[in-house]
Structure 1
Amino acid sequence: MTRRCGFAAVIGAPNAGKSTLTNRLVGAKVSIVTQKVQTTRFPVRGVALADEAQIVLVDTPGIFQPRRRLDRAMVRSAWGGAEDADAVVHLVDAPAQLGDSPADRRAQADVETIIAGLKASGKAAILALNKVDAVKREALLGVSAALYETGAYDEAFMISASTGSGVDDLKAKLAERMPEGEWLYPEDQTADLPARLLAAEITREKLYLRVHEELPYSAAVETTAFQERKDGGVRIEQTIYVERESQRPIILGKGGQTLKWIGQKSREDLSVILDRPVHLFLHVTVDERWADKRAFYGDLGLDYDA
Structure 2
Amino acid sequence: MSGPPEAPPPAAAPTRCGLVAVVGAPNAGKSTLVNALAGTKVSIVSPKPQTTRFRIRAVVLRGPSQVVLVDTPGIFAPRRRLDRAMVAAAWGGAQDADLALFVVDARGGLGAPVRAIAERLARARRRVWLVLNKVDLVAPPALLPLAAELNALVPAEETFMVSAEKGSGLDRLLDRLAEAMPPGPWLFPEDELTDLPDRLLAAEIVREQVLRQTHEEVPHHATVETEQWTERPDGGVRVDCTIYVSRPGQKAIVIGEGGARIREIGRRARAELTRLLERPVHLFLNVKERPGWDEERARLRALGLEEEG
TM-score grouping bracket, smaller chain normalisation: over 0.9
1:42 lines up with 2:45 in the alignment? no
> Which residue identity does 1:47 align to in structure 2?
V
TM-fit CA distance, 1:214: 5.4
Greater shift in the superposed pair: 285-294 or 25-34 = 285-294
What's the counterpart of residue 3 of structure 2?
none
What's the counterpart of residue 250 of structure 1?
253
What's the counterpart of residue 195 of structure 1?
198
Q: Is the 8 A contact 1:118 1:152 kept in 2?
A: no
TM-fit CA distance, 1:51: 1.2
Q: Hey, what's the Cα distance between the residues in 2 that align with 1:278 and 1:293?
A: 30
Q: Is the 8 A contact 1:124 1:152 kept in 2?
A: no
* Secondary structure, aligned partner of 1:297: helix
Q: Is the 8 A contact 1:5 1:53 kept in 2?
A: yes
Aligned length: 297
> Which residue identity does 1:259 align to in structure 2?
I
What's the counterpart of residue 103 of structure 1?
none
Q: Hey, what's the Cα distance between the residues in 1 that align with 2:192 and 2:97?
A: 20
RMSD of aligned residue pairs (Cα, Å): 1.3
Aligned counterparts, 1:4-23, within 5 A: 4-23=16-35
Q: Is the 8 A contact 2:88 2:307 kept in 1?
A: no
Percentage identity across aligned positions?
53
What's the counterpart of residue 51 of structure 1?
63
**Equivalent in 228, 233, 245 of residue 230 of structure 1:** 233
Greater shift in the superposed pair: 167-176 or 37-46 = 167-176
* Secondary structure, aligned partner of 2:227: strand
Extract unaligned runs of 5+ from structure 2: 1-12
Q: Hey, what's the Cα distance between the residues in 1 that align with 2:307 and 2:98?
A: 26
**Equivalent in 134, 140, 145 of residue 137 of structure 1:** 140
What's the counterpart of residue 167 of structure 1?
170
Q: Is the 8 A contact 1:35 1:212 kept in 2?
A: no
Q: Hey, what's the Cα distance between the residues in 1 that align with 2:38 and 2:154?
A: 29
**Equivalent in 270, 281, 296 of residue 293 of structure 1:** 296
* Secondary structure, aligned partner of 2:159: strand
1:60 lines up with 2:78 in the alignment? no
What's the counterpart of residue 279 of structure 2?
276
Q: Is the 8 A contact 2:119 2:154 kept in 1?
A: no
Q: Hey, what's the Cα distance between the residues in 1 that align with 2:213 and 2:191?
A: 32
Q: Is the 8 A contact 2:210 2:219 kept in 1?
A: no
* Secondary structure, aligned partner of 2:153: coil
Q: Hey, what's the Cα distance between the residues in 2 that align with 1:226 and 1:169?
A: 40
Distance 1:212 1:44, change over 3 A: farther
Q: Is the 8 A contact 2:131 2:161 kept in 1?
A: yes
Extract unaligned runs of 5+ from structure 1: 99-107
What's the counterpart of residue 178 of structure 1?
181
TM-score normalised over the length of structure 1: 0.94
TM-fit CA distance, 1:267: 0.6
